[in-house]
Amino acid sequence: MSTQAQAEPERYSLDEVAALAGVTARTVRYYIAQGLVDRPEGEKRGAHYLRRHLEQLLLVRRWSDAGLSLERIRELLAGAPEDPPPRAVQPGTVEVWSRVTLADGLELHVEPSRAGLDPQQLRDLVREVTRLYRTLRGTPDEPPRD
């Protein structure tokens, strides 16, 4: 057995597994309640966590840090296909997002450079999404405001 294998405990307490995963004990309990992490082994004072629990926590944390909702994480854990990983945004990066109100309760959020759109293409996108929305709602065509 290597020295490192001897130093790493086979079992973790709640506080240990939380610290290793970089979350709070409360978060671990919440993830268990949400079905994102398996329940600990054993009961009450004898409850302990294994390496698989730590790996589950690290995976949930990685996806959460990437901006995924807990609902989406639940879907991924259930076997839904994983979307392409989000582009890593470096600290200090400045992005300018356009927030376009298309109708009451309907907004379009776009970061044109990341979407690969020039200003005219963005206007065309807004015009077409607005047209499609009006078609779906059955409202008459109104000229879109530019």
pLDDT tier at 132, thresholds 50, 70, 90: very high
pLDDT tier at 9, thresholds 50, 70, 90: low
Average confidence (pLDDT) over 91-99:
82
pLDDT tier at 17, thresholds 50, 70, 90: very high
pLDDT at residue number 19: 92
pTM: 0.50
Q: Determine the Cα–Cα distance for residues 1 and 24; give it in Å rounded to an integer.
A: 31
Decide if pLDDT at 144 tops 60.
Answer: no
pLDDT at residue number 27: 94
Q: Determine the Cα–Cα distance for residues 144 and 146; give it in Å rounded to an integer.
A: 6
Average confidence (pLDDT) over 89-115:
83
pLDDT at residue number 56: 92
63, 73 Cβ separation under 8 angstroms = yes
16, 50 Cβ separation under 8 angstroms = no
Fold of 9-77: Multidrug-efflux Transporter Regulator; Chain: A; Domain 2 (1.10.1660)
pLDDT at residue number 145: 56
Every domain of the chain and the residues it spans: 9-77, 98-137
Average confidence (pLDDT) over 63-71:
86
